[in-house]
A and B are shown apart, each in its own frame.
Chain A
Amino acid sequence: KAGVTQTPRYLIKTRGQQVTLSCSPISGHRSVSWYQQTPGQGLQFLFEYFSETQRNKGNFPGRFSGRQFSNSRSEMNVSTLELGDSALYLCASTGWGGVISGANVLTFGAGSRLTVL
């Protein structure tokens, strides 16, 4: 079956702009979680959406937000971009229970690489 699809793969923005990233999960998966990956901070959990509701949130400012649609596709938005937001943004989908259960296996997309100038 098709994997997790993230678009766009690469994008360049300038400080102060906003960006929206998209994630299509594996068919049947209701949980989509987002992560930021940078050389300095590694992989950090942003938030999780399950059945259109944000269920878990990591330690990121309110400029980072997201939503999930009825077909489980999810979008992540970053407003008022800062240079430090340059990163690889990954989404992952998982099945029953979502991220709450650490027993669930995450299937990641290839990521969206954001560069902020």
Chain B
Amino acid sequence: LAKTTQPISMDSYEGQEVNITCSHNNIATNDYITWYQQFPSQGPRFIIQGYKTKVTNEVASLFIPADRKSSTLSLPRVSLSDTAVYYCLVGGGNKLVFGAGTILRVKS
């Protein structure tokens, strides 16, 4: 079963790039890596998903090395509204494993 490890918290300032890494050493061949953002009193919201190499969308980039044992979510030029908890999710079926989440605090 893939176990994921993320930093508990990170601090940043507005306008900076933030990189959050998730470790998933036991990732299976057919597992995807998905990142979600959660604000207080809300459900998690999809940010980005990838399988290998690099994926970019309008809000973030996801870097996955060749061995796929980790992944890095990159948020360019964060703002105060990016203060939230970020989760990485690995797997599918009954082996959905969420990371414990990284609290990102963006300061002005």
| Alpha-carbon distance between A91 and B98 when the two chains are bound, in angstroms | 15
Q: Is the CB of B34 within 8 A of A57?
A: no
- Classify the secondary structure of B's interface with A: loop
Min CB–CB distance A73 → chain B (angstroms): 17
What's the Cα separation between A44 and B89 when bound, in Å?
11
In the complex where A42-B101, A102-B30 touch, is A58 in contact with B94 (Cβ < 8 A)?
Answer: yes
Q: How far is the CA of A109 from the CA of B90 in the complex (A)?
A: 20
Q: How large is the interface on B (under 10, 10 to 19, 20 to 34, 35 or more residues)?
A: 20 to 34
Contact A105 B34, beta carbon cutoff 8 Å: yes
Of the candidates A33, A43, A111, the one having the most CB atoms from chain B within 10 angstroms of its own CB is A43
Additional pairs, 16, CB under 8 Å, beyond known A106-B46, A108-B45: A42-B98, A43-B87, A43-B98, A48-B94, A57-B94, A92-B43, A102-B32, A102-B89, A102-B90, A102-B92, A102-B93, A103-B49, A103-B51, A105-B49, A106-B34, A111-B41
